[in-house]
Structure 1
Amino acid sequence: MESESEAEVLQPLLNSSAHTTDSRLEELLSDTTLPCFKRLLSATLLELKLLLPLAAPAILVYIINNLMSSVTRAFAGHLGNLQLAAANLGNSGIQLFAFGLMLGMGSAVETLCGQAYGAKKHDMLGIYMQRAIIVLSITGIPLTVVYIFCKPLLLLLGESSELASAAAVFVYGLIPQIYAYAVNFPIQKFLQAQSVVAPSTYISAATLLLHTGLSWLVVYKLGFGLIGSSLTLSLSWWIIVVAQFLYILVAPNFKKTWNGFSVKAFSGLWDFVKLSAGSAVMLCLEIWYFQVLVLITGLLDNPQLSLDAISVCMSIAGLLLQIGTGFNAAASVRVSNELGAGHPKSAAFSVIVVNVLSFVIAVTEAIVVLELRHVLSYAFTDGETVANAVSDLCPYLAFTLILNGVQPVLSGVAVGCGWQTLVAYINVGCYYGLGVPLGCVLGFKFDLGVQGIWSGMIGGTMLQTIILLWITFRTDWNKEVNTTKERLDVWDKKEPRVQT
């Protein structure tokens, strides 16, 4: 009997749909007839089957998008040192602000679409996506004003007139990218909520190849220089948007979730704005946090060596953070789907599995970084002095990587549950109430330099992570299921259901 039960439990691992597998996971976790170890092992395998096809493509999408921006800066850099500095300043100082804001606001549709899909309210997903596109497009208007007047803003921040002028030219070419973000992120979350991630990976990979060729053609052969490089990046983002939307139109598996354009998308916009605002603040505070580290480091006496070393470390951390960001997306989808489906045990179990898996990968990254600490910098520069400085900072980098293996996943769980506003308050207190001030005290008052600044900011991240762990593992998941049902009912009553 025991072997028959186990075979019955493992059968969905071989052939079952997503909905069936979700249901079987809840049944498996509730099945006390199986020995505890076998039940947990089978449930883990089942959860990994659901989780990895979400996380792996999501990680690749974020890495590819990051590489598109890097390719653009590389082509700009070959035009000269001024153009390289302008592209880096425009990307880090202006474009990253828009990216964080738009991606954060897009997390609202991630919560609603994920929970609605789990609850099988399929007709609402297309409405939520359209509503998010409208809200994000309107948000793009003030961002466009910021882009247009970026030169005086950069001058106000103390940049030289020559660099500010060149950076402004680069930023002007990124204005169309704002509206690509406004459309792309809702589409991306619409797809992720339905566990459809691989097509976005293929589209992004193909666009990266096209972007590289177009950048070479526009920047070098046609001679459009700095403005050409940023316009090409904007064009590539629009190619991704159009390709993903065409996929939604032609693929047969979206017949229930996409019913065409609807005027219902214009209703309930203010409620969506309020949910989006919490998401935007939550994510923006996280994205900007370590940018603050670089800015504060620039205030040290003779900061050039420290800035070179911290830039190398942040480049490595930024690349590896894409792994945590991919698990963030997967955690959000899994938790929101399970809550929407009314599966509290599956939601809780998914949280445990994704955190453990991401943590193990992060520890592995940290070990590799520590083993290679003496040679890591040579991928970026040939200087031995910088290499020694990077080596000294690698323990801080390793600790940051471990935290980045847990913190983004917990943020993904928060998005899946709809806790964005709560996490935004936690981020303000931990990051900017503790981390930044503590880093400044250690770096300047105690004369510990960049190590002190980074230590303080690690303290802020650690406190935030501990608080999120405490909240997550004290969560009453049965209550969260009820909250999700109430949220969907409230949103559902705001407009008539679309008949399929």
Structure 2
Amino acid sequence: MGSKSPDDILQPLIPPTTTEPPLLSNKHESSDELEAILSDTHLPLLQRYTKATWIEMKLMFYLAAPAIFVYMVNYLMSMSTQIFSGHLGNLELAASSLGNNGIQIFAYGLMLGMGSAVETLCGQAYGAEKYDMLGIYLQRSSILLTLTGLVLTLVYIFCKPILIFLGESKEIASAAEVFVYGLIPQIFAYAINFPIQKFLQAQSIVLPSAYISAGTLLVHVVLSWVVAYNMGLGLLGVSLVLSLSWWVIVIGQFVYIVKSDKCKETWRGFSAKAFSGLPEFFKLSLASAVMLCLETWYFQILVLLAGLLENPELALDSLAICTSICGWVFMISVGFNAAASVRVSNELGSRHPKSAAFSVVVVTVVAFIISFLCAVIVLALRSVISYTFTDGPVVAAAVSDLCPLLALTILLNGIQPVLSGVAVGCGWQAFVAYVNVGCYYVVGIPLGALLGFYFKLGAKGIWVGMIGGTFMQTVILIWVTYRTDWNKEVEESMKRLNKWDDKQEITLKD
């Protein structure tokens, strides 16, 4: 990626600063040790890579394991809300599913994507020991995401006519409207949570978020039960509890940032500097959002296309089970995505090109091995795996028929999200967004529609076509990562980290 032409940016991203290192300096020491080992040509090659792998594995799993746990807890909170809604009635279940998987997933993808800009900038700033700017970037991102939340609120308010326009019945759309109204506060929790999450991850502070999320999940389940069964507040009540739970996570993490000694150098209070450079920060945030949203919406379109088949109920039931399984396994990949982003951005900021490249290799190989094992388990249990979700033998047979495609998707999802994390760590979001448009929406979806409808292959044909798009995207990202000049990436990182003036320009990857 170092060979691509940069865009000119007119605003400083990270001014140089001289501050004492925070308490997590041991992470920098490990990073320095890793670079020294990889650069030591006197060591035998096997010994060099054995030592380097051990250090990298410790750094990687320290980040990935809590991140996987946090994403799974978030997933469980939404799922438990749907479960409680389902016990209110079939209409309520349909409404909560539509609200969560339709309206809410749109906001989640957009907000998480925009928050990923903090991963690039905070990660590289932390690696370069420019600690005071991390808090500025946290505030800057929170401001932009809050403004975005105001726009998204309009979508939530007018969700009923939107859903009716998309073909939903008035009865389900009306019930979904009530559920979605309770999720409006959640939008603004997203606006604060995702920048905070990335701010902490950039410093390798991951365990507090895991503890806070675990405690919040317990509170969420209890409150949902009370609201649904004891207070009789229905759909609005359970969705408001979900919003409240997200705010509990936000407040808990913010209190940790303010009170913890580990953040005393990176968080120095609120600053008016957060309002400067917003247009340029928005550019990177938007590229991050487009990159992630194109991925998030891709498999939502698979479900929508399946609903147009001749026997949509069977297709949707089997795909719902497959996507649920894929969603759980995907949480593992997302955790490694976060680890890859932090590791690469930290190493680039620390001027460690060899460590950055080595981190990419290790995290990709580990994620692939885990995904391979998950795919093997899915294939081994293909005839019984659907009975976790339903007792229907017809659906079980359909799921079993789709399991080879599910296994292949899980395998690809072991690589693709990790490489996307590398892209975020390097600041390649805009480039990956273009790749996603071409592979997903120019190749994958049209190919899937052609196989599914014209060649009468049904859900399997649609899925095969979309796997083709994912495979093409993965191959491109592997090739680009393989061809990357990591010394040039360090230079690009340093350009972002230098203070600008009227005669100096800072570049972002396009």
TM-score between both structures, scaled by the size of structure 2: 0.93
Q: What root-mean-square deviation, in Å, do the aligned CA atoms of Structure 1 and Structure 2 show?
A: 1.2
| Structure 2 residues without counterparts, runs of 5 or longer | 1-23, 504-510
Say if 2:430 is the partner of 1:418. no
Letter in 2 for 1:91: N
Q: Secondary structure at the match of 2:116?
A: helix
CA distance in 2, matches of 1:395, 1:148: 41
The equivalences for 1:475-486 within 5 A come to 475-486=484-495
CA distance in 2, matches of 1:50, 1:412: 16
Aligned to 2:392: 383
CA distance in 2, matches of 1:319, 1:366: 12
Letter in 2 for 1:144: T
Aligned to 2:183: 174
Letter in 1 for 2:106: F
Aligned positions, number: 480
Kindly tell me: are residues 31 and 42 of structure 1, through their superposed partners in 2, closer, same or farther at Cα, counting changes over 3 Å? same
Letter in 2 for 1:129: L
The equivalences for 1:21-420 within 5 A come to 21-420=30-429
Aligned to 1:489: 498
Aligned to 1:436: 445
Deviations 1:72-119 (A, max 9, x none): 000000000000000000011100000000000001011000000000
Q: Secondary structure at the match of 2:266?
A: coil
CA distance in 2, matches of 1:491, 1:318: 43
CA deviation after TM superposition for structure 1 residue 492, in Å: 9.5
Aligned to 1:12: none
Letter in 2 for 1:440: A
Kindly tell me: are residues 183 and 94 of structure 1, through their superposed partners in 2, closer, same or farther at Cα, counting changes over 3 Å? same
CA deviation after TM superposition for structure 1 residue 253, in Å: 1.1
CA distance in 2, matches of 1:471, 1:212: 44
Letter in 2 for 1:300: L
Shift >3 Å, 4+ stretches: 490-494
Aligned to 2:506: none
Letter in 2 for 1:470: W
CA distance in 2, matches of 1:201, 1:353: 24
Letter in 2 for 1:171: V
Q: Secondary structure at the match of 1:345?
A: helix
Letter in 1 for 2:188: Y
CA distance in 1, matches of 2:498, 2:164: 50
Aligned to 2:7: none
CA deviation after TM superposition for structure 1 residue 324, in Å: 0.3
Kindly tell me: are residues 466 and 213 of structure 1, through their superposed partners in 2, closer, same or farther at Cα, counting changes over 3 Å? same
Deviations 1:213-262 (A, max 9, x none): 00011111011010000000000000000000000111111111010000
CA distance in 2, matches of 1:306, 1:38: 52
| Structure 1 residues without counterparts, runs of 5 or longer | 1-14, 495-500
CA distance in 1, matches of 2:374, 2:501: 44
CA distance in 2, matches of 1:44, 1:342: 19
TM-score between both structures, scaled by the size of structure 1: 0.95
CA distance in 1, matches of 2:26, 2:166: 54
Q: Secondary structure at the match of 1:17?
A: helix
Q: Secondary structure at the match of 1:413?
A: helix
CA distance in 2, matches of 1:352, 1:319: 24
CA deviation after TM superposition for structure 1 residue 16, in Å: 8.4
